[in-house]
Structure 1
Amino acid sequence: MATTDWNMKTFMKGASILTISAIIVKLLAAVYRIPFQNLVGDKGFYIYQQVYPFIGIFIVWTSYGFAVAVSKLLAGSTSLGESKAVKRIAFMYLSVLSVSFFIVLMVFAPTFAHAMGDPELVSLLRAGAYIVLVMPMLAVLKGAFQSEGYMTPVAVSNVGEQALRVAIILMGTWFAVRAGASLYTAGEVAMWGAVIGQAAGVVILALYYRNAFKGPAVKINTWRVVKELTYVSLSVSASSLILLLFQMADSFTVYNTLLANGFASDTAMEMKGVYDRGQPLVQMGILIASTLALAIVPLIAHHAAKKEGRGAEPFISLTFRTAFLFGWAAAVGLALVLPYVNEMLFETRDGSGTLMIFSLQIFWLSLILPLTAMLQGAGKVKVPTLLLIVGLVVKIVANQLLIPVLNVTGAAIAGNIGFAVIACGLLFYFRRVLPVKLAPLRFYGWLLVSTIGMLAIIIPWLFVADEVFFDQLSSRIGATVSALTAVILGAAVFLLIVMKSRIMAEKEWYLLPFGKRLARVQLMLTKHRR
């Protein structure tokens, strides 16, 4: 395979391909949980969500974090022999980690299930364990392609593995439920869907890259490679892992505490399942922030290296303002329409108050993801990683204090507190190491005006919609029409005020993914001021 010519055009083209594939993958990851919950109900959803963080953490760490680490080491290789050696060491190291993790999950599955308060989760944990065995090849192949700027195979693999995984999970669950299998069996089928999906990703990459380990390798310092792989992979994937780690904290605390509060087992499972409805909603809400982290950070890295001009400062400011703007709008907007969205997606309005609080996590995560990515781009990884750990500890402590008093609502509040600690810590640290003016005061003023405008249209509209649609349509269809119309009206008013105020310049919209149409609308709205 020829080495790619590393100019900015090639680099940005590769970044764009990865960004588009990441959007598709993240959408699929969030959306499939909705029909899955509809198939298995809240109890079945609880079963799946209890176990998923165990495999999700390893997937993110290896297929994302390790792939980036391998890519970095390969990009720094001075010869073909050295790159072969790096691949072999990475593969062997990841293989040892994977087999170790597989054995731990297989042997200690009863211990983990007992610690979560549900011994029947053992079979799901053991089924999910097989996914780690395909990770070494997946991570090394992804890293090899990324190091050469050849992003198409990585994008195809990402989308292919996720699409197959979703298809198997939904079809397999449908057959299991129809056959009268238990919800635990349905959950086990879903775990096997994830395993097969990841294996398909390896096959796709292997078809593109058949000579990954052939040829002679030179002798290099194995310990140095292992240390670099561990450090880079953990620091790069830390911000992506934090949501899964918060979920794992909930897996060990929420159900157990509900039982201790006197709830019957089935009731506690359903309450946790209702609470877990918030996960796909938050994942969809942070899509813009995670896309920003992928799309704009390469621009920042490129311009930061320039000696002349303003460097990366305008791009840093743009990233922050966009993340703040859309994260805030998504969090507040979703909270406003949540009872309707809840019924539209999950059949009932159960737990809407808790989920309204849960959805506010979108705002904090929308700041955490791009801030962490920008700091990593500037070579600052230790403090952000430490802050993520501090936030996780705060979440665990807050869970212990709040769930006994407020049940699942306490867990939702604890999540917001943990993420708020991380976001505020990152902002404070960011201002210290990168003294860039992130946003002028008028930005926050107009954001407040835009929010008031959104509230002023959505709240009255929902009262009207309740009278109009619910008399004419079935409850779920009425909720769907109410939610979608409210979202469209609220988003339109919010964006119109933002555009009229010009807190985002037209040239800035053009830099954002799919921002050209918004730039044109803003030009039309403000042309009389020019």
Structure 2
Amino acid sequence: MTEHKSRTIFKGAFILTVAGLISKILSAGYRVPLQNITGDLGFYIYQQVYPILGIAVILSLYGFPAAISKLVSEISEEHKTLSFPSFFIPVFLWMAGICGLIFIIGYSQASTIAAVMGDMKLVPSLRSAFFVFLLVPFVSLFRGVFQGGNQMGPTASSQIIEQLIRVSIIIATAVWVMRSERLYAIGIGASTAALAGALGAILVLVLYARKHQMWSYQRWESSISYIKTILFYGLFICFNYMMLLSLQLVDAFTLVRGLIDFGVDLDSARVSKGIFDRGQPLIQLGTVLASSIALALIPSVTKPRLKKNPELVKGYMFTATKFSLVVAAGATVGLIVLFPEINRLFFQSEDGTQVLRLLSIVILFTSLAITTSSILQGLGYVTHTAVYVLAAILFKTLCNLWLIPYLGLEGAAAASLIAVVFVWLANVITLRKHFPIKKWLELPWSSIVIASIGMVLLLMFLRVLGGLVVELDHRAVLLFYTLSLTGLGAILYFVLLFITGAFTKAELKQIPFHDKWGEFLPKGRIR
């Protein structure tokens, strides 16, 4: 690989990382005003439909485009141009067949799905959600072809536009359903928003495509299997991105019924599910923050690079894991301490604070699981990571069925934690050849413990002081108060990490403004 091509690939990976970060922040952020507008019951309705829409988005953003990108690369190695009759049409038809089958099954079985969820009022929302799969082949084909040519700008732009359109329509729908008192229409509105977002993405991609000659009409034969790459490689790539979404899907099917078995009436069970789902945007945001820096380093971890320069690649693995661990640990501990204020600020009540504190621990292990899964995929262990997520879904389902009837919402939180811990441990064991178990002992555990204790003590002191000095009845005051505590806690946490030697100067060069951060390092750890 030439140096220029290598720089192009890393630049493209960085563009997609930034676009993904913006998109995920939007995806996490809009659910706070959505819950504020529609209440916990409206949020429950939306969250019952959301996993289905999320699967369609992940297929169109990660799974199928990655598979098509791989096909484009293989065809390019055969020195062939992309042919409309020999490539575009068969690839599109295979994807259309897969997505069409999902639509037909989902639409026709919407009543059965709603019955399993324990809420027949969800049938129209579920039927509308499966229409989104019909647009997946169009979006995926364009994105995959562009990515196969190392052009990441079209995918990044279409992703952000898609998210902006979707978020705008969902919030507008939430306002409308509350005025019209048709709360269950929020599910249909969410599906409409996803359809509109996908159409917006297609328009952006078409505009990009008009500037490029993307195909010829010359027919040719190839030994490459389209269906094998699309079906297996495309779907397996998705699983790493669908871990949190899959857990939400399991909760959508099992949580309400489990709460009824726990002794809660149906209406209260729906509201309780909405309260439990308050944790999802916070987990998503915490995971994004913890894994974004780590994932930016992952493109450097590939099997060919490992063979060529094993020490350098293993250094990237260690640094990526360290960044993910320290940020996830700080976010988890800080969220647990400040959850009463955060719950009241974002969701206007402290309902469910204790169970959501337990659920917050998922941030730590999900971040580590995503980071290690990404490393494994870079090294070619795509099938392994997919199998582990599938096993985690099974564990989550069984634990939900077993724990929720006895423990209620705490059982659902514990089941999620068990599932993500399993994925992380499975990844650690699989990665042990390239990242030995003893390397985990070299991570800055003592620095993390000291920094966490220091942050907790500061936050507890400031909470007591704030309770004596400030009245937190107004939301604006609560916002300033919570942001101040969050900022001061984060600053102390990272300062303590630096002065206890959690990072080396070489590692800090991987993050922005590394020359400033290096001033905090103790001299004995600079190298």
TM-score category (smaller protein): over 0.9
In structure 2, the CA distance between the partners of 1:510 and 1:116, relative to structure 1 (3 Å rule), is: same
Aligned-partner Cα distance in 1 for 2:261–2:520: 60
Aligned-partner Cα distance in 1 for 2:307–2:380: 16
Aligned-partner Cα distance in 2 for 1:220–1:529: 55
Aligned-partner Cα distance in 1 for 2:440–2:99: 44
> Aligned residue for 1:219?
221
Q: Deviations over 1:262-316 (max 9, x none)?
A: 3222211110000000100001001134424541111223982563573301101
Describe how 1:65-464 pairs up with structure 2 within 5 A. 65-77=63-75, 78-81=78-81, 84=84, 85-178=86-179, 180-210=180-210, 212=214, 214-221=216-223, 224-292=225-293, 294-301=295-302, 304=305, 307-308=308-309, 310-435=311-436, 438-439=439-440, 441=442, 443-464=444-465
In structure 2, the CA distance between the partners of 1:436 and 1:519, relative to structure 1 (3 Å rule), is: farther
> Aligned residue for 2:491?
492
In structure 2, the CA distance between the partners of 1:519 and 1:412, relative to structure 1 (3 Å rule), is: farther
**Which amino acid is the alignment partner of residue 523 of structure 1?**
E
> Aligned residue for 2:519?
523
| 20-29 or 251-260, larger mean C-alpha shift | 251-260
Query: Tell me, what secondary structure is at the counterpart of 2:301?
Result: helix
The structural deviation recorded for 1:88 is 2.8
**Which amino acid is the alignment partner of residue 76 of structure 1?**
E
Q: Would you say the 8 A contact 2:51–2:245 is kept in 1?
A: yes
Aligned-partner Cα distance in 1 for 2:384–2:56: 22
Identical-pair percentage: 30
Q: Would you say the 8 A contact 1:22–1:291 is kept in 2?
A: no
Question: Which runs of 5 or more residues in structure 1 are unaligned?
Answer: none
The structural deviation recorded for 1:528 is 9.6
**Which amino acid is the alignment partner of residue 208 of structure 2?**
Y
Q: Would you say the 8 A contact 1:462–1:482 is kept in 2?
A: no
Q: Deviations over 1:108-154 (max 9, x none)?
A: 11111111010010111111121111100111111111111111111
The structural deviation recorded for 1:527 is 6.2
Aligned-partner Cα distance in 1 for 2:521–2:436: 33
The structural deviation recorded for 1:426 is 1.1
Q: Does 1:13 align with 2:15?
A: no
> Aligned residue for 1:34?
32
Query: Tell me, what secondary structure is at the counterpart of 1:296?
Result: helix
> Aligned residue for 2:501?
502
Query: Tell me, what secondary structure is at the counterpart of 1:503?
Result: coil
Structure 2 residue corresponding to 1:63, chosen from 61, 64, 78:
61
The structural deviation recorded for 1:81 is 4.2
Q: Would you say the 8 A contact 2:392–2:422 is kept in 1?
A: yes
Question: Which runs of 5 or more residues in structure 2 are unaligned?
Answer: none
Aligned-partner Cα distance in 1 for 2:161–2:187: 22
Q: Would you say the 8 A contact 1:275–1:351 is kept in 2?
A: yes
**Which amino acid is the alignment partner of residue 311 of structure 2?**
R
The structural deviation recorded for 1:440 is 5.1
Aligned-partner Cα distance in 2 for 1:137–1:377: 27
The structural deviation recorded for 1:435 is 4.0
Q: Would you say the 8 A contact 1:454–1:491 is kept in 2?
A: yes
In structure 2, the CA distance between the partners of 1:467 and 1:525, relative to structure 1 (3 Å rule), is: same
The structural deviation recorded for 1:80 is 3.4
Aligned-partner Cα distance in 1 for 2:291–2:442: 25
Q: Would you say the 8 A contact 1:320–1:438 is kept in 2?
A: no
Aligned-partner Cα distance in 2 for 1:184–1:308: 56
Aligned-partner Cα distance in 1 for 2:498–2:219: 57
Describe how 1:33-52 pairs up with structure 2 within 5 A. 33-52=31-50
| 498-507 or 295-304, larger mean C-alpha shift | 295-304
| 261-270 or 493-502, larger mean C-alpha shift | 261-270
| 92-101 or 376-385, larger mean C-alpha shift | 376-385
Q: Would you say the 8 A contact 2:125–2:187 is kept in 1?
A: yes
Q: Would you say the 8 A contact 1:399–1:414 is kept in 2?
A: yes
- Root-mean-square deviation (Å): 2.2
In structure 2, the CA distance between the partners of 1:217 and 1:59, relative to structure 1 (3 Å rule), is: farther
Q: Would you say the 8 A contact 1:89–1:226 is kept in 2?
A: no
Aligned-partner Cα distance in 2 for 1:216–1:523: 61
Q: TM-score when scaled to structure 1?
A: 0.93
**Which amino acid is the alignment partner of residue 185 of structure 1?**
A
Aligned-partner Cα distance in 2 for 1:305–1:6: 20
**Which amino acid is the alignment partner of residue 217 of structure 2?**
G
Aligned-partner Cα distance in 2 for 1:524–1:386: 42
Aligned-partner Cα distance in 2 for 1:527–1:170: 52
Q: Would you say the 8 A contact 1:30–1:283 is kept in 2?
A: yes
Q: TM-score when scaled to structure 2?
A: 0.93
Aligned-partner Cα distance in 2 for 1:44–1:160: 25
Aligned-partner Cα distance in 1 for 2:141–2:221: 19
The structural deviation recorded for 1:383 is 2.5
Q: Deviations over 1:180-214 (max 9, x none)?
A: 23111133112211111012111111111145555
The structural deviation recorded for 1:45 is 0.3
**Which amino acid is the alignment partner of residue 232 of structure 1?**
Y
In structure 2, the CA distance between the partners of 1:385 and 1:155, relative to structure 1 (3 Å rule), is: same
Aligned-partner Cα distance in 2 for 1:74–1:202: 20
Aligned-partner Cα distance in 2 for 1:448–1:33: 32
Q: Would you say the 8 A contact 2:303–2:380 is kept in 1?
A: no
| 237-246 or 301-310, larger mean C-alpha shift | 301-310
In structure 2, the CA distance between the partners of 1:149 and 1:14, relative to structure 1 (3 Å rule), is: same
Query: Tell me, what secondary structure is at the counterpart of 1:80?
Result: coil
Q: Deviations over 1:1-20 (max 9, x none)?
A: xxx99622212221121111
In structure 2, the CA distance between the partners of 1:261 and 1:437, relative to structure 1 (3 Å rule), is: closer
Query: Tell me, what secondary structure is at the counterpart of 1:349?
Result: coil
The structural deviation recorded for 1:216 is 2.3
Aligned-partner Cα distance in 1 for 2:407–2:349: 21
Query: Tell me, what secondary structure is at the counterpart of 1:311?
Result: helix
| 4-13 or 147-156, larger mean C-alpha shift | 4-13
Q: Deviations over 1:341-380 (max 9, x none)?
A: 0110011110000110111100011101110111111111
The structural deviation recorded for 1:99 is 1.3
In structure 2, the CA distance between the partners of 1:90 and 1:213, relative to structure 1 (3 Å rule), is: same
The structural deviation recorded for 1:486 is 1.8
In structure 2, the CA distance between the partners of 1:362 and 1:214, relative to structure 1 (3 Å rule), is: same
The structural deviation recorded for 1:326 is 0.8
**Which amino acid is the alignment partner of residue 323 of structure 1?**
S
Query: Tell me, what secondary structure is at the counterpart of 2:381?
Result: coil
